[in-house]
Structure 1
Amino acid sequence: MSPRTTTGTTVRRRLAAAVAAAAVVTAGVTALTTTAAQAAPGCRVSYQISSQWPGGFGANVTITNLGDPLNGWDLRWNLASGQQITQLWNGSLTTSGGQASVRNIGWNGSVPTNGTVAFGFNGTWSGSNPVPSQFTLNGTVCTGTVTQPTATPSPTPTTPRPTQTATPTPTPTPTQTTPAPQPAGSLYVDPTTQAYRAWQAASGTDKALLEKIALTPQAYWVGNWADASHAQQEVRDYTGRAVAAGKTPMLVVYAIPGRDCGSHSGGGVGESEYARWIDTVAQGIQGRPIVVLEPDALAQLGDCSGQGDRVGFLRYAAKSLTAAGARVYIDAGHSAWLSASEAARRLQLVGFSDAVGFSLNVSNYRTTAETAAYGQEISRLTGGKTFVIDTSRNGNGSNGEWCNPRGRALGERPTTSTGIQGADALLWIKLPGESDGACNGGPAAGQWWQEIALELARNARW
């Protein structure tokens, strides 16, 4: 179990198991594309399985509104036994009693007659992976038939090359997203975060508390490893909006093979796909973003199978992202994980020919003072390389727990003027209010948990 957490939750699997199960899965998969066609006036739904591998799959869903114009939508269907949605974009997911409900997220709520709206997700499955036979849109039934695929999917996750004709799920564009109020300083506030939506929907004391999170610059996590083209579009959209606002975007790249060693945020790109995935994502970069590269990857080096040439992967990623304009910081864990000398040794294995420095305390709770002292020692051992610190939830320090500990607080606001020797920036890398995982009463990793968001804000010392 990783001593840190993430917002982007994808399927838990190991590459070795995927390869071992390849023949079985190849024989058992029967559907790549299915379409639920209109059966009654009102709506049509296209449900497309974009990729499938042992225990996991990705899907794109497109809704066509055949009725009156919509100002808000709610699409529902039943998940088969063993199916679970682990990550969803361009919609807000709730599940109850085996039924999935996906609602609009504000910017994509208006759908004219004959207009379309789309979202996508990654999920897990066991036994079989049947497609839904019925959907309802705002209570209107949209049923249809299935069509068989023209090809059998690869038994391991693959990502389309940039030259392929895969159609990514639409993401917000600057014309679709209402700009967020931007605070003083150089870092960008993203109006598409779950915290921002929760703040907009809140009132009274809750609204005042959530404003502390919603209007503070935070990083954008990129880990949609089932669809590199979609990840590229996310990056282009997010960094483009930041540049248009005259601010610096912050990205977290989180798709390393063997990611999180199968824990709450297990997954990652296949070993043979990682370099291509990185190159595809890098092509979406606009401006000069700060990029935190692969949280936990060095701290977990050698801890589990399926990691491949992890040092080589990190070295390649740093080079590709830097060439695209990023300022790359390689993650090195936190002060209660590796010794400073071991963290420095592992960073030197990757090297700093492209990366400008390293990141610390990502998604953890160690105080800024403790982390700064730790970073300064690593800096001394790496020839003066600088670092960034995640202060998003370290206001009360750590109580020794890493997964949804209670009694924590928001930390210092992000800044690039730290006053700390060797520290380039204090950043909110983890998004406060998003769960660390299904632990201590929290929902799945990455899902919004308003209770703990309010607690973090209430306990903040500002």
Structure 2
Amino acid sequence: MSARRTASALLTAAALSVTGLTAVASTASAADGCRVDYTVQSQWNSGFQGDVKITNLGSPLSSWTVAWTFPSSGQRVSQSWNANVTTSGSRVSASSIGWNGSLGTGASTQFGFIGSFTDSNPVPTSFTVNGVTCTGTVTPTQGPTQGPTQGPTQGPTQGPTQGPTQNPQPSGDLYVDTENQSYAAWQAASGSTKDLLAKIALTPQSVWIGNWNSPSVSQQQMRDATSRASAAGKTVSVVIYAIPGRDCGSYSGGGVAESEYAQWIDTVASGIVGKPIVILEPDALAQLGDCGGQGDRVGFLRYAAKSLTQAGGRVYIDAGHSGWLSVDTAVNRLNQIGFQYAVGFALNTSNYQTTSASQQYGEQISQRLGGKGYVIDTSRNGNGSNGEWCNPRGRALGDKPRLVNDSTGLDALLWVKLPGESDGTCNGGPAAGQWWQDMALELARNAKW
């Protein structure tokens, strides 16, 4: 084999098997070049998520470009991650992005994309790498291959390969946390101030867990909150907030390092007792691709959903709010993560969109996702939104939290954002997360109950 062919690494013809909505195309090895797996990870209406895995079986590569032509003229790639993808009609070219270009012998890398189709979604049967066609014996496989590989530093392990541990919809009451700042403020207050703060402190609110504590302290925080709720026979909601590149460096910027996220998630998940509701990474999906430092955010969220679900959590992937992403965009991004483990999605976290607007938006998304459930943050939406997101004045506490079991996709109204805690140093507020009593009293005073 020529040096050019050996250094190219290359692909083979493809075979297709279908399980439910998941189609898998797998290729066998070229004589001494490579192996490539092309997988339709999930499919819905006229869209699908694809994954392409390249394994180098030849000499080391410094970069790669994979190209193929879709069999159907209606197939297109609309979004990608971990590769630079360009298209011309049905022709697709995907090249390495620096950190994943170097492939030693036996090494592999993976990239993913969101695609669309019109009439059908057949699997490509011919590929090239660096301009060289690779052919070989085809060996069909059953079920999806692994999820996308990680970013430039070590990240989570591969995506899920089996269905979720089914955590049933909880019933009964939500748990009132007595360890938050509103409860301490209520205890210290008197007179009319105490009466107003009681509206917040004695209402079920979420417990936020992030990297402002060490992994062991975060694990203990999870264990304490879920143990107390489980012992009381009630359901607690917990927020996981530590994604790399969190908040794109804004007031709540930070997050765990890319190389530490998977371990951090596993540590926190090991503290779960019972069956808590888990809101996974507010803003992470809505800000996908908006800034650097995110690593393989799709892979991170997939891994977190898997780890937290297997530990007992009932996971809802945060999807922004009705004033942020279009229904189409929200559906496409949620489908990138998938629902192999997560049970649904979360809306309006820390925002002010009305419950009715959020539910209308949620129902549209739910229907497009085959009826997946969702939860709405109603903590500060009593007066709706005035267009501001950071400590807007004139807002009000919203609907009281409750579990929902009706004919809609709504699973619960929750207070995810803790009323009275600042959004950041804007509109006169203290640092993000700090208690701001004037704002707390305003929210309570304006409540319609």
Query: TM above 0.5, one fold?
Result: yes
Which whole-Å CA distance do the structure 2 matches of 1:357 and 1:294 have between them? Answer: 13
Q: Does the 8 A contact of 1:327 with 1:356 survive in 2?
A: yes
Q: CA deviation at 1:356?
A: 0.2
**Which amino acid in structure 2 is aligned with residue 247 of structure 1?**
K
Residue in 2 that maps onto 1:286: 273
**Which amino acid in structure 1 is aligned with residue 228 of structure 2?**
R
CA spacing shift, 1:224–1:454, aligned 2, 3 Å: same
Matched, 1:253 2:240: yes
Residue in 2 that maps onto 1:362: 349
Q: CA deviation at 1:380?
A: 1.3
Q: CA deviation at 1:224?
A: 2.3
**Which amino acid in structure 1 is aligned with residue 382 of structure 2?**
G
SS at match of 2:315: strand
String of CA shifts for 1:282-331, please: whole Å, max 9, x gaps: 00000000000000000000000010110010000000000000000000
TM-score, normalisation: structure 2: 0.61
Q: What is the aligned counterpart of 1:395 among 382, 397, 400? A: 382
Q: Does the 8 A contact of 1:224 with 1:230 survive in 2?
A: no
Overall identity of the aligned pairs, in % = 71
Which whole-Å CA distance do the structure 2 matches of 1:205 and 1:227 have between them? Answer: 38
Residue in 2 that maps onto 1:426: 413
Which whole-Å CA distance do the structure 2 matches of 1:377 and 1:390 have between them? Answer: 17
Residue in 1 that maps onto 2:215: 228
Residue in 1 that maps onto 2:85: none
Q: CA deviation at 1:420?
A: 6.9
SS at match of 1:273: helix
Residue in 1 that maps onto 2:438: 451
Which whole-Å CA distance do the structure 2 matches of 1:205 and 1:229 have between them? Answer: 40
Q: CA deviation at 1:417?
A: 2.5
Matched, 1:303 2:299: no
Q: Does the 8 A contact of 2:374 with 2:410 survive in 1?
A: yes
SS at match of 2:279: strand
Q: Does the 8 A contact of 1:225 with 1:277 survive in 2?
A: no
SS at match of 2:402: coil
Which whole-Å CA distance do the structure 2 matches of 1:324 and 1:185 have between them? Answer: 21
Which whole-Å CA distance do the structure 1 matches of 2:202 and 2:405 have between them? Answer: 20
Which whole-Å CA distance do the structure 1 matches of 2:186 and 2:252 have between them? Answer: 26
**How do 1:95-244 and structure 2 match up within 5 A?**
185-224=172-211, 227-244=214-231
CA spacing shift, 1:383–1:419, aligned 2, 3 Å: closer
CA spacing shift, 1:269–1:408, aligned 2, 3 Å: same
**How do 1:333-348 and structure 2 match up within 5 A?**
333-348=320-335
Which whole-Å CA distance do the structure 2 matches of 1:445 and 1:201 have between them? Answer: 22
**Which amino acid in structure 2 is aligned with residue 284 of structure 1?**
G
Q: Does the 8 A contact of 1:418 with 1:426 survive in 2?
A: no
**Which amino acid in structure 2 is aligned with residue 294 of structure 1?**
E
**How do 1:318-329 and structure 2 match up within 5 A?**
318-329=305-316
**Which amino acid in structure 2 is aligned with residue 219 of structure 1?**
S
**Which amino acid in structure 1 is aligned with residue 394 of structure 2?**
G
Q: Cα RMSD over matched residues?
A: 1.6
Q: CA deviation at 1:225?
A: 5.4
Which whole-Å CA distance do the structure 2 matches of 1:455 and 1:226 have between them? Answer: 30
Q: CA deviation at 1:399?
A: 0.3
Residue in 1 that maps onto 2:319: 332
Q: What is the aligned counterpart of 2:394 among 407, 416, 421? A: 407
Q: Does the 8 A contact of 1:433 with 1:453 survive in 2?
A: yes
CA spacing shift, 1:327–1:256, aligned 2, 3 Å: same
Which whole-Å CA distance do the structure 1 matches of 2:404 and 2:285 have between them? Answer: 27
Larger relative contact order (Cα-Cα within 8 Å, sequence gap ≥ 6):
1
- The runs of 5 or more residues in structure 1 that have no matched partner are 1-156, 159-183
Which whole-Å CA distance do the structure 1 matches of 2:348 and 2:327 have between them? Answer: 13
Q: CA deviation at 1:245?
A: 1.4
CA spacing shift, 1:426–1:449, aligned 2, 3 Å: same
Which whole-Å CA distance do the structure 1 matches of 2:370 and 2:182 have between them? Answer: 39
SS at match of 1:258: coil
Q: Does the 8 A contact of 2:321 with 2:351 survive in 1?
A: yes
Which whole-Å CA distance do the structure 2 matches of 1:273 and 1:188 have between them? Answer: 31
String of CA shifts for 1:334-392, please: whole Å, max 9, x gaps: 00101011000000000000000000000000000000000011111111111000000
CA spacing shift, 1:407–1:418, aligned 2, 3 Å: farther
Q: CA deviation at 1:238?
A: 1.1
CA spacing shift, 1:226–1:432, aligned 2, 3 Å: closer
String of CA shifts for 1:62-107, please: whole Å, max 9, x gaps: xxxxxxxxxxxxxxxxxxxxxxxxxxxxxxxxxxxxxxxxxxxxxx
TM-score, normalisation: structure 1: 0.60
Number of aligned residue pairs? 281
Q: What is the aligned counterpart of 2:253 among 247, 266, 269? A: 266
Which whole-Å CA distance do the structure 2 matches of 1:185 and 1:395 have between them? Answer: 24
Which whole-Å CA distance do the structure 2 matches of 1:192 and 1:339 have between them? Answer: 37
**Which amino acid in structure 1 is aligned with residue 184 of structure 2?**
R
String of CA shifts for 1:126-145, please: whole Å, max 9, x gaps: xxxxxxxxxxxxxxxxxxxx
**Which amino acid in structure 2 is aligned with residue 340 of structure 1?**
V
Which whole-Å CA distance do the structure 1 matches of 2:424 and 2:417 have between them? Answer: 13
Q: CA deviation at 1:419?
A: 4.9
Q: Does the 8 A contact of 1:393 with 1:410 survive in 2?
A: yes
Which whole-Å CA distance do the structure 2 matches of 1:225 and 1:400 have between them? Answer: 29
Q: Does the 8 A contact of 1:368 with 1:394 survive in 2?
A: yes
